[in-house]
Chain A
Amino acid sequence: MSEINLSVNLCGIQLTNPAILASGILGTTKALLKRVAQNGAGAVTIKSISVEPREGHKNPTVITFEAGMLNAVGYSNPGVDAAAREFSNLQDVGVPVIASVIGTQKEDFVRVVEGLSAQKFSAIEIPLSCPHTPGFGLLAGQGTPQATFDITSAVRKVTKLPIFVKLSPNIPEICTIAKAAEDAGADAITAVNSMGPGMIINIEAQKPILSFKVGGVTGDALRPIAVRCVYDLYKAIKIPIIGVGGISTGRHAIEMIMAGASAVGIGTGVYSRGIDVFRKVCEEIGQWMQENGFDSIKSIIGAAHD
C-alpha cells in the first residue's frame, strides 16, 4: 500500500504528501513542528506572527462541541523578533515550513515578512480572515477585495517566496477576493479560515463560554462550507488552492481535493484523531487511491467538476 505516490508540487514546493498542519494549531515552537512532521505531515504552518508580542484573549479560548471546535485565541504570539529566534535552522523540522504572518495594517505584514526573511521558510501565508481578533482580519476590514489586493501587493514586493492568501468562508464574494489576491501576485489561496464567529452559551452560568464571547467555528461543522468554497474557487482562479476545514480522514481530504484543492490543511483533526492524524489521513488517502485505481494526487484534483 505504501507504494502509492502521494507527493504534490505546490507552487514549486515539493511535498511528500498533501496533508499540511494548518496555522494556529500546535505551531508555537520548532519542537512541536518537528513532532508534527514526524507524525506524517507533508508541510507545517507556524502559529501566526505579528510585529509585537501578543498575549491573546483570556481563557477559555478554545472549546469543543458536537461538530467541531470554537476558538478565540486572539493571535497570542511572541512577536517577530522572538519568532525569528524560535524558527531558526528550520531544516531540523524535516518538511517545508510555512510562515503565517498577520498585521493590523499592510506595513506590519511587510515588517514581519522582512523580520522572518533570514529563516528558511518555504512560503508565506497571510490570513486576512480571522473572525475574532480586533485589529486583524475581518474585524479590521482586511477581507475586502481592495484590502486583500493592497496587502498582498505589499508583501509581494518584499518576498520571492510563494504567498498563500487565506480567506474567510463567510463572504459570499470569496471568488472576487481570491481574484484580487491572484491579481496582486498571490501564488495560492488557502480556503478557508474558521467561520462565524459563533457562540456557545453555558446555560447554567447564563454566559458565553469563550472569554471573547464569540469564536471561529472549525471542524465537521465547517467542512461542507469549505468544500463548496474550494469548488467555487477552482472555477474562478488559476492558482492552486489549499483546502482547509473539517478534514480529519482520508475521505475528507479526497473530497476536498476533488473539489479542487492541490493540498489540504488539517487543524481540528488533531483534536478528533490525535497528533498522528496526518499519518492516518495519508494512509487512508493511499488506500482509497489504490482501491479506486488512482496513482497520483494530481489525477484527482478537481475531479468533482463537470
Chain B
Amino acid sequence: MIDQPMMVKICDIQEESPGVKTFFFKLNLNFEPGQFVMVWIPLLDEKPFTISSIQKDLVGISVLKRGVFTNALHSKKIGDMLGIRGPYGRGFSLKLDSNSCVVGGGIGMASLATLVDRLNLVVDKRRGHVTVIQGARTVAEIIYQKRFRDMKLCTEDGAAGFKGTTVDLLKDLLKKQRFQKVYTCGPEKMLHKVVELCREHSIECEVSLERYIKCGFGVCGQCDCGGQRVCIDGTVFNTEELSRMEDFGRITITKTGERVIH
C-alpha cells in the first residue's frame, strides 16, 4: 500500500479507442481486481482509477476522456510523471472451477479487465469458462477488441455484435447456458438490472460501484452508498450486501455531499 502519492513515469501509451487510452508505468503493486488507485496530477486534481492491466511490474490504467482531469491525462506523453497511491478497497472474490460471466458497460470494462485475465488464468489450469459481455454505445467505443477469448459485444445500433443492452444479451445467454457467477461494472442503472436478473436466476453476482472519491481510505464519508463506503467497504459488493444498500441504483452523492437521484 502506498499512502502518499508516488511519482511514476509513463513508459507506454496505448490507444484503446478514440476516447480511451491506457497509460503504462512501472510500479510494484499488490493489486486485486476491483480495487483502485488514486492518480494525482500535481496542481490539478486527483481521481480514482482501476488498474486495467498488470504484467509483472508494468501496470496500466485505462482512461476515458470525459472531463478536465481526464483531458489533462490524455495530453500526457511518454516520460511524463503521475502520482499514484493505493491500491484501495475490497476487490472481487473469485469463484473457481465455474462458468462465469463478466458484464462490462462502457469504461466499466476497465475495472473488469484484470479480473478476466485472472479468471482465464485459473480456467486454463483447472476448470470452467469465462464469457465476457462488453456493451458500448457505438462500435467506435469498444475497447480491448482482441484481449479476451470469449467476448460478446453489444451496441445500441447493432453495428457490432448484439443489438441491444448488456442486460438483454445476458438474458438471452441465460436461456441457453448456466453461469455460477456474474461479475459486473458499468453505469449503475445497468448494474441494478444485472443484479435483478441474477437474483431471478439465483446466480451469485458481484458488482463494482463508482462514487466520487476523496480520501480513498474510509474517513471522509464522500463515497457513501446506503451506509457503505465505496472506497473501503467496496468497491465490490455482492447481491446480499446490495439488497441492504438503499441508495444502490437510485442515489449518488455530489461533490457537495448531497444525495441526489442518479
Q: Which residues in A have some Cβ–Cβ distance to B below 8 Å?
A: 24-29, 31-32, 34-35, 47, 53-56, 58-65, 69, 71, 73, 76-79, 82, 86, 200, 202, 204-205, 207, 209, 211, 267-268, 270-271, 274-275
B:204-262 near A, CB below 8 Å: 214-215, 217-222, 224, 226-229, 246-247, 253-259
The answer to whether A63 touches B224, judged by C-beta atoms less than 8 angstroms apart, is: no
Contact A62 B256 (CB under 8 A): no
User: Is the pair A32, B227 in contact by a Cβ cutoff of 8 Å?
Assistant: yes
Query: Provided the pairs A27-B221, A64-B3, A202-B4 are in contact, do residues A86 and B215 lie with their beta carbons within 8 angstroms?
Result: no
Q: Which residues of B contact A (CB under 8 A)?
A: 3-7, 38, 40, 42-47, 81, 83, 214-215, 217-222, 224, 226-229, 246-247, 253-259
Q: Bound complex: CA of A211 vs CA of B255, how far in Å? A: 15
Can you list 16 residue pairs at the A/B interface with Cβ under 8 Å?
A: A25-B220, A27-B221, A28-B222, A55-B255, A58-B45, A58-B46, A62-B215, A64-B4, A77-B257, A202-B7, A204-B6, A204-B7, A205-B7, A205-B42, A211-B45, A275-B229
Supposing A202-B7, A270-B218, A271-B219 touch, asked if A60 and B38 sit within 8 A by C-beta, the answer is yes
Given contacts A60-B5, A202-B5, A202-B42, contact A32 B254 (CB under 8 A): no
Q: Which residues of B contact A270 (CB under 8 A)?
A: 218-219
5 closest A-B pairs by beta carbon, nearest first, are A78-B258, A28-B221, A31-B227, A59-B46, A204-B7
Q: Let me know if B218 and A76 touch, CB within 8 A.
A: no
Enumerate chain A residues within 8 angstroms of B46, measured Cβ to Cβ.
58-60, 211
Known pairs A60-B40, A64-B4, A271-B218; list 5 more (Cβ under 8 Å): A26-B219, A58-B46, A60-B5, A86-B259, A202-B5
- A47 CB contacts on chain B under 8 angstroms: 221, 257
- Cα A53 to Cα B45 with chains together (Å): 20
A73 touches B214 (CB 8 A): yes
* B interface: dominant SS: loop
Chain B residues with Cβ below 8 Å from A24 are 220
In whole angstroms, how far apart are the Cα atoms of A268 and B247 in the complex?
26
Q: Which residues of B contact A73 (CB under 8 A)?
A: 214, 220
Q: How far is the CB of A28 from chain B (nearest CB, A)?
A: 4
Instruction: Note all chain B residues with C-beta closer than 8 A to A29.
Output: 221, 224, 227, 253, 257, 259
A31 pairs with B218, CB closer than 8 A: no
Query: Per a CB cutoff under 8 Å, which of A59, A207, A274 touches B45?
Result: A59
**A78-B257, A205-B7, A205-B81 given; A26·B221 CB < 8 A:** yes
Query: Which of A31, A62, A267 lies in contact with B214, CB distance below 8 A?
Result: A62
* Minimum distance in angstroms from A107 CB to a CB of chain B: 21
Residues of B within 8 A of A268 (CB): 219
**In the complex where A31-B247, A60-B40, A204-B81 touch, is A53 in contact with B220 (Cβ < 8 A)?**
no
**CB nearest neighbor in A for B216:** A62
B257-A59 in contact (CB<8A): no
Q: B220 to chain A: which residues have CB within 8 Å?
A: 24-26, 28, 61-62, 71, 73
- The chain B residue sitting closest to A204, CB to CB, is B7
Contacts A61-B220, A209-B4, A271-B218; is A31 near B256 (CB within 8 Å)?
no
Q: Is the CB of B219 within 8 A of A69?
A: yes
Q: Please state if A82 and B258 are interface contacts (CB–CB under 8 Å).
A: yes
Query: Given A202-B83, A268-B219, does the pair A209, B224 have CB atoms closer than 8 Å?
Result: no
Q: How far is the CA of A123 from the CA of B257 in the complex (A)?
A: 22
Interchain CB contact under 8 A, A207 and B43: yes
A119, B254: Cα distance in complex, Å: 22
Give complex CA distance A257, B35 in Å.
Answer: 39
Q: Across the interface, which residues of B come within 8 angstroms of A25, CB to CB?
A: 219-221
Contacts of A56 in B (CB 8 A): 255-256
**Which chain A residues lie closer than 8 Å to B217 at the CB level?**
64, 271
Give the complex CA separation of A275 and B104 in angstroms: 31
Nearest CB on A from B246, distance (A): 8
Given A62-B214, A65-B4, are A31 and B226 also a contact pair (CB < 8 Å)?
yes
Contact across chains for B256 and A77 when beta carbons are under 8 A apart: yes
The interface residues of chain A lying within 8 Å CB-to-CB of B4 are 63-65, 200, 202, 209
Contacts of A27 in B (CB 8 A): 221
> Which of A62, A76, A200, A271 sits near B257, CB closer than 8 Å?
A76
- Determine whether the beta carbon of A35 is less than 8 Å from that of B227: yes
